[in-house]
């Protein structure tokens, strides 16, 4: 009888965890902001949230008592986000492991300081499971853009669109992206390299 009660208790305890999920990326970079959302199948009208973080690898950037939490990567390493939700008279607990990685390597052309173009970086946008888009941060329509993608297998692809779109996969990994931004006076080049885990978690 005791064994039966113990099994029921364990199943109930496991059920509490299975009905609560934290949705969001498994990996973020130092300095990067990401959103994590609570998802609970038992009752979508949960009325109390309590996000808990046990170290300084990720720093909260929003209210710890809301459904959505924004965090910023701080120190490389493995971290855990914990969440306690009260709904339907019950308390649900869930956890998510997140790896904080060192920032990607970004370099500017040696002549960039002589150029008045103020764009300093670009971002990756997931279009689908096989397509990624690249867009300059604070892009200006008066500039022309050339994206050069370097794949691990040695091949290259080029796009002259303001937002460059390229295919990628675990078998067709992007190692480096070069962006040439040109106005009437000069050209500014920004390059970004990616570590071997970036696209796996993208």
Domain boundary among 101, 131, 165: 101
Percent of the chain with pLDDT over 70: 80
User: What is the structure's pLDDT at 201?
Assistant: 67
Q: How far is CA 172 from the centre of its chain?
A: 20
**CA 162/CA 76 separation, integer angstroms:** 32
Give the CATH number for residue 168: 2.60.40
What is the number of other CB atoms lying within 10 angstroms of the CB of residue 20? 22
Distances (CA, A) of 101 to 25, 197, 198: 12, 9, 9
Q: Give per-residue pLDDT as tens, 25-55.
A: 998 887 778 899 988 765 556 668 899 987 8
Give the CATH number for residue 7: 2.60.40.10
Q: Are residues 90 and 129 in the same domain?
A: no
Q: Are residues 76 and 158 in the same domain?
A: no
Q: Are residues 113 and 197 in the same domain?
A: yes
Counting the structural domains of the chain, the total is: 2
Q: Are residues 77 and 142 in the same domain?
A: no
| 3-class DSSP string for 141-180 | CCCEEEEEEEECCCCEEEECCCEEEEECCCCCCEEEEEEE
**CA 81/CA 177 separation, integer angstroms:** 32
Nearest partner of 145 among 122, 131, 163, judged by Cα: 163
Q: Are residues 29 and 50 in the same domain?
A: yes
Name the residue with tokens 């499971």: 129
Q: Give per-residue pLDDT as tens, 146-201.
A: 999 999 888 999 999 999 999 998 888 999 999 999 988 888 889 988 876 678 76
Domain boundary among 65, 81, 101: 101
Nearest partner of 121 among 164, 181, 202, 186, judged by Cα: 181
Residue 8 parent element (H or E): helix 2-18
Q: Are residues 58 and 148 in the same domain?
A: no
Q: Are residues 92 and 109 in the same domain?
A: no
What is the number of other CB atoms lying within 10 angstroms of the CB of residue 103? 11
What is the number of other CB atoms lying within 10 angstroms of the CB of residue 150? 17
Task: Place 77 in a pLDDT band, splitting at 50, 70 and 90.
Answer: confident
Q: Are residues 124 and 87 in the same domain?
A: no
Percent of the chain with pLDDT over 90: 31
Q: Are residues 23 and 82 in the same domain?
A: yes
**CA 148/CA 188 separation, integer angstroms:** 14
Query: What domain range is 75 assigned to?
Result: 2-101
Domain boundary among 101, 126, 145: 101
């Amino acid at each position: 009888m005791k064994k039966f009660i113990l099994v029921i208790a364990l199943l109930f305890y496991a059920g509490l965890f299975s009905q609560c999920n934290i949705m969001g990326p498994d990996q973020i970079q130092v300095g990067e902001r990401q959103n994590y959302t609570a998802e609970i199948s038992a009752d979508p009208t949960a009325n109390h949230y309590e996000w808990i973080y046990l170290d300084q690898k990720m720093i909260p950037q929003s209210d710890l008592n809301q459904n959505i939490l924004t965090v910023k990567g701080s120190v490389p390493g493995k971290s855990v986000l914990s969440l306690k939700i009260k709904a339907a008279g019950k308390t649900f607990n869930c956890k998510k492991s997140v790896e904080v990685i060192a920032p990607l390597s970004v370099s500017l052309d040696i002549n960039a300081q002589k150029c008045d173009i103020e764009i300093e970086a670009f971002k990756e946008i997931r279009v689908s499971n096989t397509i990624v888009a690249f867009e300059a941060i604070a892009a200006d329509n008066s500039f022309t853009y050339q994206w050069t993608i370097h794949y691990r297998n040695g091949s290259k692809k080029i796009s002259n669109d303001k937002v460059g779109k390229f295919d990628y996969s675990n078998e067709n990994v992007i190692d480096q992206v070069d962006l040439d931004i040109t106005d009437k006076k000069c050209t500014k080049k920004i390059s970004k390299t990616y570590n071997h885990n970036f696209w796996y978690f993208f």
